[in-house]
Structure 1
Amino acid sequence: MGEQRPLARGEAWRAVAACFLTTFALLSRHRVHLPEERVGRRLGFADGTTAPVYRETRLGSGLAKDPCTLVVTFRLRLVRGSGHALFRRESLLNTPLFVGFPGFTSKLWLAHDEHDRYRGVYEWDGAGRADHYARSLWRVLALVSVPGSIRYAVLPGVRRDDVVAGPRQGGVPEPTAAAWWRPTAGT
């Protein structure tokens, strides 16, 4: 997974601004969908944590031609107790920060786990595009996250739903280190 670091500030903020503008065109053409069939499903991870899906966002069919799974995690600064429910409601307003990035196809939004970490599990069209997005998003997340809590994993050639199904069903590569990002199975 290599070294992870944000893009340079100017490059990241230009990418976020372009995404923001593209998102409004997608919304006006009704290309953004919020399917509910996965909402409520609890995902377990190789680090022993679990988290429920509280929203899914999909662009068009949600399927990539060059599939790649991206998993992002972070811990919010100053959010505790009922603040988590407030964050989950307001997070819908964050949609313009990712839907318009080139290559986005779908995202599962996971509520905080036992360590107050949030995760997003995405299907992206192209590993390079997923990495560019994660490094751009880093600048946004850094404004509200506990320092050092932002991480991401890019899994080229693997569909998100195969990763979520777990290693036995989906052929997901086994981890070489503690895998906070690797779902073990959903319930």
Structure 2
Amino acid sequence: MTPKTALVFLQALVRSVGYLLRGRIEFPRGRLGDVLELSEGDRFVCYRETALRPAVEADRDDGVVLVFGLESADRETGATIRSVLFDPAANVATPFFAGMPGFRRKLWLAGRREGEFLELYEWATVEDAERFVDVMRSLLDPFGFLGAATFDIVEDDTVDEYVAARSLSWGAQRESRSTRRRWRRPAVLGLLLLIGGYLAWRRRSDADRPHSEP
């Protein structure tokens, strides 16, 4: 993590605390249990939504949607690792992404197979989404063994417009996912994993740094 990234991260945390104290961060329940069906047939269930009310720069019409996914070459072992790391880490992530400039809304979705996750973000501008991607890449770098993180920024104002403009649909039925009990794991586990990854990255950086001769 570079000093610049660390500063952005800290500023987002401070901003999020202010939003929380003023009651601006909400967790709507209207989409919980809704099933998102992708064009290739994969299905993801919405198990959490986070929204900033009122959204920053909500009057602008140039919003974008960021689609985040995590792909592993070994799907079976990757699913197990992601279910251990991704869920707990997500519990401590809200205070950081909600305070990033331009954040509006996020939907958390889980696939039918253990460890499959999809995240849909709404941002005010492309620049806001790209700034968040830069921070996320720095944070995920120590966890490269999980697989390749994918970020796709599309010029749709909202998640609903993103779904409507593609061969996607919200399924008619609602599902009660066991995923909910997974994301209730103690947030401290996610924090410890993030700290462990950061320390591992620091050790690797120190080892790669050339040492001057005495």
Normalised by the size of structure 1, how large is the TM-score?
0.73
Unaligned runs of at least 5 residues, structure 2: 172-214
Following superposition, the deviation at residue 156 of structure 1 comes to: 2.2
Conservation of the 8 A alpha-carbon contact between 2:24 and 2:54: no
Q: CA RMSD in A?
A: 2.9
Unaligned runs of at least 5 residues, structure 1: 1-7, 168-182
Distance 1:33 1:111, change over 3 A: same
| CA distance in structure 2 between the partners assigned to 1:142 and 1:117 by the alignment | 19
Distance 1:104 1:70, change over 3 A: same
Equivalent of 1:9 in 2, 5, 16: 2
The alignment of Structure 1 onto Structure 2 pairs a total of residues equal to 164
Partner of 1:138: 137
Following superposition, the deviation at residue 161 of structure 1 comes to: 1.4
Match runs of 1:152-171 below 5 Å: 152-167=151-166
Partner of 1:176: none
Equivalent of 1:186 in 165, 170, 183: 170
Please list the CA deviations of residues 75-111 of structure 1 after superposition, one character each: whole Å capped at 9, or x if unmatched.
5986629x83895466232101200000000000112
Distance 1:155 1:149, change over 3 A: same
| CA distance in structure 1 between the partners assigned to 2:155 and 2:114 by the alignment | 27
Conservation of the 8 A alpha-carbon contact between 1:49 and 1:114: no
More helix by proportion, 1 or 2? Answer: 2
Conservation of the 8 A alpha-carbon contact between 1:57 and 1:107: yes
Give 3-state SS (helix, strand or coil) of 2:101's partner.
Answer: coil
Residue identity over aligned pairs, in percent, reads 24
Please list the CA deviations of residues 123-167 of structure 1 after superposition, one character each: whole Å capped at 9, or x if unmatched.
110111111111211222334454542111111243221113352
Normalised by the size of structure 2, how large is the TM-score?
0.65
